[in-house]
Amino acid sequence: MAKKRKPLFIGIYRKDQWKCCSWCIDNNIKVSLVPRRYNQDDYQVEVSLFGKITKSNVRYSLEDAQMKYWELYCYLHDKYNQDSPHD
């Protein structure tokens, strides 16, 4: 029998985090969480920036990795999108 998964934690890093994420994906910037193993809550954050992939050396818990995920999307949006100010 399959092990029941914990519900996902979706933290609020910033009010416009979904807009930042959408802009990044539309502009070929992607952030993903890479688990060490299927059954463990040990994640690395991987960034694909214009085709170049970089993986973090730090391992995060699921909640910390998700907050880092949003933080990176917002940071990359602010860095590369000069058209709009953030909230």
Task: Check residue 2 and give its pLDDT.
Answer: 64
What SS3 class is residue 50?
coil
pLDDT in tens, 42-83: 899 999 998 899 999 999 988 899 899 999 999 999 999 887
* Res. 7 pLDDT band, cuts 50 70 90: low
Query: From CA 47, how far away is CA 31, in angstroms rounded?
Result: 5
CA distance to 43, 45, 74, per residue, from 32 (Å):
10, 6, 14
Task: Check residue 62 and give its pLDDT.
Answer: 84
Helix axes 62-80, 17-26, angle to 10 degrees: 70
Residues linked to residue 53 through DSSP beta bridges, in sequence order:
48
CATH topology of domain 17-80: Double Stranded RNA Binding Domain (3.30.160)
Task: Check residue 12 and give its pLDDT.
Answer: 75
pLDDT in tens, 14-46: 888 999 999 999 999 999 999 887 767 789 999
- Structural tokens at position 61: 């818990």
The domain spans of the chain are 17-80
